Amino acid sequence: MADIPVDLARHPIGVVVRRTGLKPDLIRAWERRYAAVEPSRSPTGRRLYSDLDIERLVLLRQAVQAGRGISHAAALDKEQLRTLIREDRPTPGPARLLPADPWNGQVTAEAVLASCLSAVERLDGIELELQLERAAVALSQIHMIERVLVPMMHSIGDLWQQGTLRPAHEHLASAVVRSFLGEMRSAHQPPSQAPHLIVTTPARQHHELGALIAAATAATEGWSIVYLGPDLPPEDIAAAAHQRGAKAVALSITFPPDDSRLADDLRRLRRMLDPRIQVVVGGRSARHYEAALKEIGAHPVADLAEFRRALAKLRVPSSA
């Protein structure tokens, strides 16, 4: 693996916004008021953030979400932030010991990805799980998802098409990633009056990875998740939303580029749902259904950052 030292890679603020889910104004305010991060500058004064800066911002965001004041959090270093966040999780979870790390000290998403792929090739699910768990200690959840899990599943898909890997490899990786994401989600215990979010895939959509990612992400944002797995007809989605008094429904659409029954299902869902319940739709194939989505007033989201922004908007009933 090529070594681009993490602390040298420079990103403009736009990238940081996408990777952290924070608004640009807020990032600058944090810098101005509390020196929360101190990015270097381009010759013309543009802020240039390192990967470490971004990581730090993610940690700060988590700390704030856990009820800390930013003024307090900004004074802490990376390790202190991490322990703080860990402590704020109400269920400390089984204090598992994680011994020796192979990529000593420096943990980059790329290195983790490589180890993981190698574990998959060897069909070593236990090793894969171990790598992921170790990496999760060092990498933010967003990094884990966007730079490790998603690229890994993509690579496996590619290698499968090339004939290098077999379905068995993909199955094994899916099983491990699924349970890993499940743990990620349930590690966050929602605040007591958190709004409920139904997460599922519409009928005939059997890939649940996107839904799991959405669930884990929304959990970090403080939502209370009702995860219903894949392949659910609209009647059931609506019924579940009403029973739990959900604030919103998140759907992941990954498979067929075109399916008129799916568009029908979406319309049907909208009709059966309380108008106050919002619908958010993401996933690889979501854009193929733009028309139907617009028709039912659903929020289409193209990536995780957008999903997080949509969630933030939904919490405050101020969106149109």
Partner DNA sequence: TTTCGATTGACCAAAGGTGGACGAGCATCT
Partner DNA sequence: AGATGCTCGTCCACCTTTGGTCAATCGAAA
Q: Where does this chain bind DNA (CB under 7 A)?
A: 12-14, 17, 23-26, 28-30, 32, 34, 42-47, 64, 67, 69-72, 312
Minimum Å gap between C-beta 70 and DNA is: 4
Cα–Cα distance, 181 to 75 (Å, whole number): 31
222 counts as binding its own copies under rule CB under 8 A? no
* Subset of 37-56 contacting its own copies (CB under 8 A): none
Q: How far is the CB of 21 from DNA (least distance, A)?
A: 10
> Of the ranges 105-113, 218-226, 269-277, 289-297, which one interacts with its own copies (CB under 8 A)?
218-226
Computed over its alpha carbons, how large is the radius of gyration of the chain? 20
Min. distance of Cβ 193 from DNA in angstroms?
A: 11
Indicate whether 25 belongs to the interface with its own copies (CB under 8 A). no
Question: Given the rule CB under 8 A, which of 61-69, 111-119, 296-304, 308-316 is the region that contacts its own copies?
Answer: 61-69
Q: Select from 43, 35, 45 the least CA-distant residue to 13.
A: 45
Taking the CB of residue 40, how many other CB atoms lie within 10 A of it? 11
Burial (CB count <10 Å: 0-12, 13-18, 19+), residue 291: exposed
Query: CB 224 → DNA: shortest distance, Å?
Result: 16
127 binding its own copies? (CB under 8 A)? no
Say if residues 216 and 181 touch (Cβ distance below 8 Å): yes
CB under 8 Å to 195, separation ≥6 — which residues? Answer: 223, 224, 246, 247, 248, 314, 315
**Would you say 12 or 245 has its CB closer to DNA?**
12
Q: Is 130 left (phi over 0), alpha (psi -120 to 50) or beta?
A: alpha
Nearer to DNA among residue 51 and residue 265 (C-beta): 51
Kindly state whether residue 226 participates in binding its own copies, applying the rule CB under 8 A. Answer: yes
Rounded CA-CA distance 132/188 in Å is: 18
Q: Which of 61, 54, 52, 47 is nearest to 19 (CA)?
A: 54
Sheet containing strand 196-200, edge to edge, reads 224-227, 196-200, 248-252, 278-282, 299-300
Q: Which residues bind its own copies (CB under 8 A)?
A: 1-2, 4, 9-12, 14-15, 17-19, 66-69, 72, 79-80, 82-84, 88, 90, 97-98, 122-126, 129, 166-168, 171-172, 174-175, 178-179, 182-183, 186, 189-191, 200, 224-233, 235-237, 239-240, 243-244
